[in-house]
Amino acid sequence: MRKSHTRFQMSLFLVFLFSLGLVGTSKAEITFETLVEQVKHNETKYKNIDLKIDYTYQTGPASIRPVGDTNSNVKIYATSQNSIRYVAQEGRYRVEVESVNLFQDGSSRNSNHIKMYDGKLTRLLEQDHIVNLIQGYAGDDYHIRPHMLFLRGPYYYMPLSTLLSGDKAIADSPEASWPSGRSLEYAYRGEADFNGLKCHQIWATLHKNKKPVRRLEFWLAADRNFIPARYCSYQLKLSEDQPTVEGEVLEWVEVSPGFWFPKETKTTSFSSYLLKRGQKIVQWTKKYQTKEVSLTPRHELSFFQNLEIPDGALVYEIENRKIIKSYKKGSAKDPESADAPADP
């Protein structure tokens, strides 16, 4: 009877430890697989989010157009400043982006982007004059989540846990754009401290046609919901010691007790051409600065549907990747126009 009572107490104690996230993460039991499970578990905490964040892209010395270069057809960014509002809620999302782009020739261009999905229809407005109304889910190009701030690009529109779960998981991800012939190999490299945080370092080595070409390194901060506090990327044909990309979280914000979000991040890319010649020269830098963040958005359905389409905008209705109808907003062909022909 006493043994049963002791086992019952031990079970309660283990349940308590698991609720704190301590079971499965002791030094003796940590594996790559348990870390991926921790990442996956913590990603769910950010499934719903209402975020205002500024994103800045700045070219470095390695990207400056050479004096005398007269190729005016190619515009090179000097800076791009973007104000982003991103909301994801119960499978729906809405993103609004206002951008100010400055080029090295002194010219500038402002742009805007609005995209939303209400569970049935994707609405997209570009530059106030092009509109796509797409049946079904048409991707979430921004998908801003804390675990993937360092890896936003054409191959990485997916959760970090998916990227770390193998080729099949990546191929099955609706957000992935994974070319054939690529595969990933993983390794847990042990504990490491970074900026006073206890981290777990993991490697993901990208193979192309079975040859290792790039290594991604993540420092997962155990006390920050296993969000990467640091990230490095290596082009292995150039160097296994000097990264071509480095990223780090400069400051954190605790959204609510136990829920952290990067308040400021910086990612720096170095010229691979010059790195090969022993020079570490900046190609570009990217910075994210979080202005507001909530993990409990409560928006009405209409928030994910209301898209103001300017008069004269070109509207394309799309189904199964085919344009089934096109018209100018406000024209006689516009179904909502007073001049539109009545249904028979």
Q: Report whether pLDDT(210) > 80.
A: yes
Phi then psi for 45, rounded to 5 degrees?
Answer: -70, -15
What is the pLDDT, as a whole number, of residue 2? 45
Indicate if the pLDDT at residue 157 is higher than 90. no
Give the β-pairing of 130-135 and 121-126: antiparallel
Question: What DSSP line would sit under 304-343, residue for residue?
Answer: GT---PPTT-EEEEEETTEEEEEEETTSTT-TTSTTSPPP
What pLDDT, in 10s, does the model give residues 288-299?
A: 999 999 999 999
* pLDDT, position 181: 83
Position 22 pLDDT exceeds 60 = no
Q: Work out the percent of the chain whose per-residue pLDDT is above 70.
A: 85
Question: Considering the entire predicted model, what is its pTM?
Answer: 0.85
Contact by Cβ (8 Å): 125, 315 = no
pLDDT tens across 215-274, in order? Answer: 999 999 999 999 999 999 999 999 889 999 999 999 999 999 999 999 999 999 999 888
Cα angle 184-185-187, degrees, rounded to a multiple of 5:
140
Q: How does DSSP classify residue 66?
A: P
pLDDT at 317 over 60: yes
pLDDT at 34: 95
Residue 317: which of 120, 123, 137, 115 has the closest Cα?
A: 123
Helix (H) / strand (E) containing 113: strand 108-117
Residue 162 has a pLDDT of 92
Domains and CATH numbers, the chain: 47-65+74-301 (2.50.20)
